Amino acid sequence: MADVKYSVSLKKLEEIIAKIESEEIDVDELAKKVKEAVDLIKTCKEKIEKAELEVKSVVDGLKVQET
């Protein structure tokens, strides 16, 4: 799932949450959707952390060039 774009993962997560909140989801499917939501949250978190590291690296590189 890590190869999926952040925006796609976030959209899927929002759809699952909307289904759960609106009670459109069957009880038998609930556990499956909660597990999928957890996986999507992990994927989004990993992508955010990776982006933060990349931005920090770029900013740090700019600081070195300024001195």
Residue 42's pLDDT is 96
Residue 67's pLDDT is 62
List, for the chain, all residue ranges whose pLDDT scores fall below the cut of 70: 1-2, 67
**What pTM was computed for the model?**
0.76
DSSP annotation string for the chain: -TTS-HHHHHHHHHHHHHHHHTT-S-HHHHHHHHHHHHHHHHHHHHHHHHHHHHHHHHHHHHHHHH-
